[in-house]
Amino acid sequence: MQKPNMAVTGDETDEETDLAPSHMAAATGDMPTYQIRAPTTALPQGVVMAASPGSLHSPQQLAEEATRKRELRLMKNREAAKECRRRKKEYVKCLESRVAVLEVQNKKLIEELETLKDICSPKTD
Protein backbone atom coordinates (compact mmCIF):
# COMPACT_ATOMS: atom_id res chain seq x y z
CA MET A 1 0.00 0.00 0.00
CA GLN A 2 2.43 2.53 -1.12
CA LYS A 3 1.64 5.85 -2.53
CA PRO A 4 3.17 6.69 -5.87
CA ASN A 5 6.39 8.26 -5.13
CA MET A 6 8.75 10.95 -5.39
CA ALA A 7 11.41 12.51 -7.39
CA VAL A 8 15.07 12.71 -6.68
CA THR A 9 16.93 15.17 -4.63
CA GLY A 10 18.08 15.30 -1.14
CA ASP A 11 17.01 16.72 2.05
CA GLU A 12 18.12 15.02 5.22
CA THR A 13 20.21 17.90 6.28
CA ASP A 14 22.46 16.81 9.04
CA GLU A 15 22.37 19.65 11.40
CA GLU A 16 23.70 19.35 14.88
CA THR A 17 21.32 19.46 17.71
CA ASP A 18 21.26 17.52 20.89
CA LEU A 19 18.31 15.34 21.43
CA ALA A 20 19.99 12.00 21.41
CA PRO A 21 18.63 9.60 23.98
CA SER A 22 21.86 9.78 25.86
CA HIS A 23 23.10 13.30 25.32
CA MET A 24 26.67 13.28 24.16
CA ALA A 25 29.16 15.45 22.43
CA ALA A 26 28.36 15.45 18.78
CA ALA A 27 30.89 13.58 16.75
CA THR A 28 31.65 15.52 13.66
CA GLY A 29 32.12 12.87 11.09
CA ASP A 30 31.31 12.77 7.47
CA MET A 31 28.78 10.47 6.05
CA PRO A 32 28.54 9.32 2.52
CA THR A 33 24.84 9.62 2.28
CA TYR A 34 22.76 8.58 -0.59
CA GLN A 35 20.50 11.41 -1.36
CA ILE A 36 17.43 10.35 -3.10
CA ARG A 37 14.06 11.73 -3.78
CA ALA A 38 12.69 15.07 -2.95
CA PRO A 39 10.29 15.28 -0.12
CA THR A 40 7.56 15.67 -2.65
CA THR A 41 5.27 16.57 0.11
CA ALA A 42 1.82 16.12 -1.19
CA LEU A 43 0.82 19.06 0.86
CA PRO A 44 2.11 22.56 0.98
CA GLN A 45 4.16 23.31 4.01
CA GLY A 46 2.18 24.64 6.87
CA VAL A 47 -1.24 23.36 6.12
CA VAL A 48 -3.67 25.05 8.35
CA MET A 49 -7.19 24.52 9.49
CA ALA A 50 -9.50 25.39 6.66
CA ALA A 51 -12.74 25.71 8.51
CA SER A 52 -13.81 25.78 12.06
CA PRO A 53 -14.83 22.27 13.13
CA GLY A 54 -18.24 23.37 14.24
CA SER A 55 -19.31 24.60 10.85
CA LEU A 56 -19.34 21.31 8.94
CA HIS A 57 -22.55 19.58 8.10
CA SER A 58 -23.03 17.91 4.76
CA PRO A 59 -21.58 14.45 4.13
CA GLN A 60 -19.41 16.06 1.52
CA GLN A 61 -18.00 18.50 4.01
CA LEU A 62 -17.49 15.78 6.56
CA ALA A 63 -15.63 13.69 4.03
CA GLU A 64 -13.46 16.61 3.08
CA GLU A 65 -12.74 17.28 6.69
CA ALA A 66 -11.78 13.67 7.25
CA THR A 67 -9.50 13.72 4.25
CA ARG A 68 -7.93 16.93 5.39
CA LYS A 69 -7.35 15.52 8.83
CA ARG A 70 -5.76 12.45 7.41
CA GLU A 71 -3.47 14.44 5.16
CA LEU A 72 -2.48 16.60 8.06
CA ARG A 73 -1.75 13.55 10.14
CA LEU A 74 0.33 12.01 7.36
CA MET A 75 2.27 15.20 6.89
CA LYS A 76 3.01 15.48 10.58
CA ASN A 77 4.00 11.87 10.80
CA ARG A 78 6.26 12.28 7.79
CA GLU A 79 8.05 15.09 9.51
CA ALA A 80 8.17 13.20 12.77
CA ALA A 81 9.74 10.22 11.05
CA LYS A 82 12.39 12.44 9.50
CA GLU A 83 13.21 13.97 12.83
CA CYS A 84 13.25 10.61 14.50
CA ARG A 85 15.70 9.25 11.97
CA ARG A 86 17.89 12.30 12.23
CA ARG A 87 18.10 11.88 15.99
CA LYS A 88 18.82 8.22 15.67
CA LYS A 89 21.66 8.86 13.24
CA GLU A 90 23.13 11.40 15.56
CA TYR A 91 22.82 9.02 18.46
CA VAL A 92 24.60 6.28 16.56
CA LYS A 93 27.35 8.70 15.58
CA CYS A 94 27.81 9.60 19.22
CA LEU A 95 28.02 5.98 20.21
CA GLU A 96 30.57 5.30 17.52
CA SER A 97 32.77 8.13 18.57
CA ARG A 98 32.51 7.02 22.15
CA VAL A 99 33.59 3.55 21.17
CA ALA A 100 36.60 5.03 19.42
CA VAL A 101 37.55 7.00 22.51
CA LEU A 102 37.16 4.01 24.78
CA GLU A 103 39.22 1.82 22.50
CA VAL A 104 42.09 4.25 22.65
CA GLN A 105 41.73 4.49 26.39
CA ASN A 106 41.69 0.74 26.74
CA LYS A 107 44.76 0.36 24.62
CA LYS A 108 46.63 2.85 26.76
CA LEU A 109 45.64 1.08 29.95
CA ILE A 110 46.79 -2.25 28.61
CA GLU A 111 50.13 -0.74 27.69
CA GLU A 112 50.44 0.82 31.09
CA LEU A 113 49.65 -2.48 32.73
CA GLU A 114 52.36 -4.17 30.74
CA THR A 115 54.98 -1.65 31.76
CA LEU A 116 53.98 -1.94 35.39
CA LYS A 117 54.22 -5.69 35.15
CA ASP A 118 57.69 -5.38 33.73
CA ILE A 119 58.74 -3.06 36.50
CA CYS A 120 57.25 -5.12 39.31
CA SER A 121 58.04 -8.62 38.19
CA PRO A 122 60.96 -10.14 40.05
CA LYS A 123 63.93 -10.72 37.84
CA THR A 124 64.77 -14.41 37.63
CA ASP A 125 68.09 -15.11 35.95
Q: CA–CA separation, 72 vs 43, rounded Å? A: 8
Q: Does 10 bind DNA (CB under 7 A)?
A: yes
Residues shown for the chain = 125
Give the footprint of DNA on residues 24-43 (CB under 7 A). 31, 33-37, 39-42
Q: What is the smallest separation between the CB atom of 37 and DNA, expressed in angstroms?
A: 5
Q: CA–CA separation, 73 vs 30, rounded Å? A: 33
Query: Cα 42–43–49 angle (5° rounding)?
Result: 150
58-97 footprint of DNA as x/- string (CB under 7 A): ----------------xxxxx-xxxxxx-xx---------
Binding residues for DNA, rule: CB under 7 A, are: 1-6, 8, 10-12, 21, 31, 33-37, 39-42, 74-78, 80-85, 87-88
